[in-house]
Structure 1
Amino acid sequence: MTKERFEADWLAMREPLDHQSRAKAVMQLLAPAWAKHGWSNIIDLGSGTGSNLRYLAPRLPGPQQWTLFDHDHELLARARPPEGVPDLRLATLTGNLASAGLEVARATGAHLVTASALLDLVSKDWLAAVVDTCRATSAAVLFALNYDGILEWVVHDESDDVDDGWIRRAVNEHQRRDKGFGRALGPMAGLHAEMLFRGSGYRAWLFRSPWQLGPDDMAVVRLLFDGWVEAAIEQTGEEERVRAWAARRSRTIARGQFRLIVGHTDFLALPPD
């Protein structure tokens, strides 16, 4: 399987989870502001195949002009708008998100700068540039599904594994490695965004939007689990200990009587009236 096919399959797999996990309070704040100001222009950064478009477009009133921006043209080629949104225009652009994404946001005159599952990958400097860009044009901001560091196993009649916390800390530190923007904010991304945007005069909110996974989500669980094992080995160098934990938690997964909470936040910032 090619890397592009794997990424497309992963995005398709997680899309329903993302949509059902997103904080409903976001749209209760964003939709009225959208209608009040007559906004219409949206740029979606790191769009992938367009999941963010398919969630937001049916929930925003009035005409919409979307620009999807991603480094991968093959993923963008798979982007499809949602049904039932008649007054929607769609453009796609390919480029380096770290160096060109904000230039595109300025050039398109976006009323809303948005992304999904991106904020925890970026650096503090890049986030500060987002703040400056949005403040200059009074754009609203929505970063959804930002990983917040919570990995919690809930298993009936089973105590926490002695190494759950150690693995979580290793994974979270691995999340702070450079993802192409400089040292990543990782689990602290949402809090940093809230602080920076409020410091620039924005009204800002941070809502919880965790994934609640179980036996019905086995394909996602296994992919996540394998990624955590790899990350923990890279971060700690203690392969034997990591694989021993993996063997124990693999038995948990195989028994099929568990819940796995993967924490995320949805961040919304609206310009001052």
Structure 2
Amino acid sequence: DLCSADFCDHFAEILSASNTGLYAALNYDGVMEWSIAHPLDQQVAKDFNQHQHFDKGFGPALGPDATAHLKQAFERLGYSVSVATSPWVMGRDDGDLQAAFLEGLEQPLSEIGSLTDVQIRDWLGFRLEKIAEAGSSCVVGHSDMLALPRH
């Protein structure tokens, strides 16, 4: 999800030339949901997904579209491709991971700029406070892909 379409296409061609498979795990798929709602949740997810398309060092990133793009690239090369969901499902016992995930959203949200710094801080404060609440959970969608050459 951090690489560009051109990078992924070229990578697939290189693997195909050597008849090599690929297992790509934990590709973010654009899903970000919480069991306890906040009015800004949808905007936060939208902004983060937009930021996922920014250049991460390999050209404009595919972000949530990465798995679908890779699947098509390998299928065009004659590969057998399987995709499965592998979401992060974080509950109270995963508080440290949830906190790290949430704190990592602050910079991308600020860079997009559709939310004010006050809105971002208020949303983060709410989310961090809710981690320990009974029934609180966060789901961050991911997918895994296995591409194998056909013999």
**Fold conserved (TM > 0.5)?**
yes
**Range of TM-score over shorter length:** over 0.9
State the partner residue of 1:166.
Answer: 43
State the partner residue of 2:31.
Answer: 150
What is the letter of the counterpart of residue 266 of structure 1? Answer: D
Structure 2 distance, partners of 1:245, 1:218, is 17
Q: TM-score, normalised by structure 2?
A: 0.93
Structure 2 distance, partners of 1:136, 1:222, is 43
1:66-81 equivalences under 5 Å are none
State the partner residue of 2:145.
Answer: 267
SS, match of residue 35 in structure 2: strand
1:130 aligns with 2:11: yes
Structure 2 distance, partners of 1:249, 1:239, is 15
What is the letter of the counterpart of residue 136 of structure 1? Answer: A
Alignment: residue pair count: 150
SS, match of residue 255 in structure 1: coil
Q: TM-score, normalised by structure 1?
A: 0.53
RMSD over aligned CA atoms reads 1.3
1:56-135 equivalences under 5 Å are 120-135=1-16
Match 1:249 to one of 94, 106, 127: 127
What is the letter of the counterpart of residue 257 of structure 1? Answer: G
State the partner residue of 2:113.
Answer: 236
Structure 1 distance, partners of 2:148, 2:133, is 45
Structure 1 distance, partners of 2:87, 2:133, is 23
Q: Answer with 1 or 2: which has the greater Rg.
A: 1
Q: Percent identity?
A: 35
- 8 Å contact kept, 2:83–2:144: yes
Structure 2 distance, partners of 1:136, 1:255, is 52
SS, match of residue 149 in structure 1: strand
Q: Which runs of 4+ in 1 moved over 6 A?
A: none
1:176 aligns with 2:53: yes
What is the letter of the counterpart of residue 117 of structure 2? Answer: E
State the partner residue of 2:81.
Answer: 204
Structure 1 distance, partners of 2:10, 2:134, is 44
SS, match of residue 183 in structure 1: coil
What residue ranges of structure 1 are gaps of 5+ in the alignment? 1-119
What is the letter of the counterpart of residue 209 of structure 1? Answer: S
Q: Cα deviation per residue 1:42-70 (whole Å; 9 max; x = unaligned)?
A: xxxxxxxxxxxxxxxxxxxxxxxxxxxxx
SS, match of residue 188 in structure 1: helix
Q: Cα deviation per residue 1:52-111 (whole Å; 9 max; x = unaligned)?
A: xxxxxxxxxxxxxxxxxxxxxxxxxxxxxxxxxxxxxxxxxxxxxxxxxxxxxxxxxxxx
